[in-house]
Chains A and B, each alone.
Chain A
Amino acid sequence: MRCEQVRPLLPELAEAGPRAVGPAQVHLAGCAKCATGLARFRDLLAGLGSLRDVVSEPSEAFLGRLISGLEAIEEPARARRLLRYVSNERARSAALSLGGAAVGATAVGLVWWRRSARRALPPVLSTGSGALR
């Protein structure tokens, strides 16, 4: 390959990663000018990659505005959560009340049934004891 053919490929060849040795690499090994051009593109890509960790400072008041804005969206979410909790609490109280009522009704029913059963005992037994005396 000639220099004119290799130069347009330099931006892509500069990307890191394994490459098969092709005609371009053969040319680069023997051409100092193209090799320098490749090195410069590699520097460029390394420089661009390093920008990832370089930060620009926003205006001073920005963070405050950002946090306030987010609090505004968090508030309805908190209110919904609270509502869900309250609903759960209500359901729990209702279930407990129903359960308590059922236990109470059963107890009253049992007492009533036992009294009724005593009243219904056959009279012979009560008079029988008197006869023995």
Chain B
Amino acid sequence: MMMPDATLKTRFTPKALKPIDLPQQFVSGCFSPCGAFFFAGSMDGQLGRWCVVPDTVEPELIALPTLTGLTAWVSVCVALPDGKHVVAADSWGNLAAWSYCADTIEPVWKVANAHDGWIRSLVISPDGQTIATCGRDGRVLFWSTSGQKKSEIVVSGDLSIVRFAPDGKSLFVGSLEGKVGQWAWSGDTSQTASLETSAKLREFDASPLFKVNRLQDVGGVRALAISPDGSTLLVGGTQPVNGGNVQGKPTLLPFNIADGSLKKKAELGTDGDVYVTDLEWHHDGCWLITTSGNPGQGKLLTWRVEDEQPLAEVKLSNCHLVRQHPSGRWFAALTTNANSNGNGKVLDKSGEYLGNRSPLQVLVLPS
């Protein structure tokens, strides 16, 4: 293992700019391919939409009318590469798409009960033609970009993440039971297939990220990404110590995709830091990683597989995801406000029950 030198550390140490205060709590987010729009999924069925103000020293967001049509948690949203549509899914199993440049706030198409319950992940195939979704019902479903169901794959478990390989020839599915599998993907979705049988290429042992504690299944696969060259699979989560108030070290498991071997086990914090929540490859040559643990504890890290230590880390309150702006000049981490916890009734100055918010922390790497 290598120790990153000081120059490299400096190069990959993000600078936090002024956070953008979003008005409520959000659980998902994405940019449009042109970078002019930002979307965030709320906890009450709305897809927030903002215009990203260009050419400012520090990015700003201007709120646009919220997109409607979903319910409960809008758990995932992704902008299609067509530059016109954003697709989102909710925790009640609904899937919908909007034309985000249009005035209307209603979806252009919607599939009610696309899954039986919580859709946890949604991803677009590298060719931009297929939407893959997975969720608590243990299924991976494939959709056209106009919302037509193309095929269905039955995988058992509570499926937390689906990702396509960069070459589009296989896909990876992770579950909250700590399982990760790779299946062949031909793009031919004319028939329902069973990934458990013929198409399965490999399993990756992510069991350190899962345990049963009394009645509770704890941990599982919380983040998953494939390196741009398709050689390495990164699986993130925690090594659970207990259930209830879940504790555990945020952990990354990098696997060699060719043979399924584990390259190392990278622990990125203490037991209170808990989960690796998201992973994105930064084009400058490092991974952007977010963690979220006990209220107030969270980080954004820059990291390379070959190094023993992270290149750098920035403490941020409960980071749940990171998204790079398409300009490549900055990226944003969805966080939770400080002092987000506390027992009993907490009221604001007007006597209203106080909820939390999701500040969007803008960060840049030194040029």
The yes or no verdict on A and B being binding partners is no
